[in-house]
Structure 1
Amino acid sequence: MNRNLFITLLIIFNIAIDQISKVIVRTTMIRGSKGQINVIKDYFQLIWVENKGAFLGMGSDMNPTLRLLFLLILPTLVLGYVVYYILKTKSLDQLSLIAFCCIVGGGIANVFDRIVFGQVTDFFYINLGGVFRTGIFNVADLSVTTGMVMLLFSGVFTNKKKEKALD
């Protein structure tokens, strides 16, 4: 498959699954804890919230000008640069390329929500007792996080390959 087509399709796929999941949540759930759905007991729940901020609501109390700058303009510029970078850097390994596409797709999906709705729809919640607990997040956040983890793995594997090559 053509590399640029692969990049485009992967980014679109990430945006689509996020937006489809959010439409389903907005049309079938009740907002807040009253509409909470226990998927796996209290460990994995669906709770629909609208987030005016970024990760875990950070920035939701910023004045509108700062929110526009830090949650719309700056992320859009960064996402634009990452798209440029992955299109121009032909030497990226496959794992890094997929990782960047996940990050860009998730980022675009959340920026789209901020532009269209003024906030981001979140609905996943994980609580493994005292061991691990998340804030409420969405598929786009999952895409970005997965992409970041993939980039870390890619960096580790690349460094190990370089070390072996030097031996």
Structure 2
Amino acid sequence: MRLFGITALLVFALDQASKLYIVQGLGLAERLRLDVWPPYLNLRMAWNRGVNFGLLSNDTDLGRWILIGVALAISAGVTVWLMRGAHRPVALVAGGLLVGGALGNVVDRLVYGAVADFLNMSCCGIDNPYAFNVADIAIFAGALGLVAFTGRENTP
């Protein structure tokens, strides 16, 4: 479980540091856009009040607290589940990615009232209108890793 905790802590720290540097340090919250390597990598400020791609988005405090509760419940559930059984190291890393990312987005909702999304990538003539952050990448990779690397046939 140590690997799980270290992964979660590193993801959380990287997510929060990137948000602090880009949103506050580079002033993206005021500038709203910075082209880094167009069209492949751009910074576009987006305050996400919902889940991925703005789904379940609303501007109510109730919605915000529900999403915080759901993220905390999922994080606790994944943590307890991983603590209860023997899992390969890759599964512990995947769980740490998911939990660290989820907690990073929870902090955003507590501090800003919304999740700070800022990474935007496009390619090959496709203009991607969506932004995401380090926590979103970790949550996606962690969920995928848990599906791929856990189960009876995958335990040590």
Q: TM-score range by the shorter chain?
A: 0.7 to 0.9
2:105 to 106, 110, 129: 110
Residues 7-53 of structure 1: CA deviation (Å, up to 9, x unaligned) = 22111001000000000012213337x54222222121111222222
Aligned residues: 153
Residues 50-100 of structure 1: CA deviation (Å, up to 9, x unaligned) = 22222122222264323322x1112211211111111222x2122111111
- Deviation, 1:127, is 1.0
2:70 to 67, 74, 89: 74
Q: d(CA) in 1 for partners of 2:33 and 2:127?
A: 19
Q: Is the 8 A contact 2:16 2:104 kept in 1?
A: yes
Which moved further from structure 2: 10-19 or 124-133? 124-133
What's the counterpart of residue 45 of structure 2? 48
SS in 1 for 2:28: coil
In the alignment, structure 2 segments of 5+ residues that lack a partner are none
What's the counterpart of residue 162 of structure 1? none
Residues 84-138 of structure 1: CA deviation (Å, up to 9, x unaligned) = 111222x212211111110011001101111122111111001114458362000
* Runs of 4+ residues over 4 Å off in structure 1: none
In the alignment, structure 1 segments of 5+ residues that lack a partner are 160-167
Summarize the Cα distance change of 1:88–1:155 in structure 2 as closer, same or farther, 3 Å threshold: closer
The structure showing larger relative contact order (alpha-carbon pairs under 8 Å, at least 6 residues apart) is 2
Aligned alpha-carbon RMSD (Å):
2.5
Question: Percentage identity across aligned positions?
Answer: 25
- 1:30 has 2:28 as partner: yes
Summarize the Cα distance change of 1:49–1:96 in structure 2 as closer, same or farther, 3 Å threshold: same
Q: Is the 8 A contact 2:94 2:141 kept in 1?
A: yes
Q: Is the 8 A contact 2:64 2:113 kept in 1?
A: no
Alignment of 1:1-167 (within 5 A): 4-25=1-22, 26-31=24-29, 34-61=31-58, 63-69=60-66, 71-89=67-85, 91-130=86-125, 133=128, 135-154=130-149, 158=153
Q: d(CA) in 1 for partners of 2:80 and 2:129?
A: 32
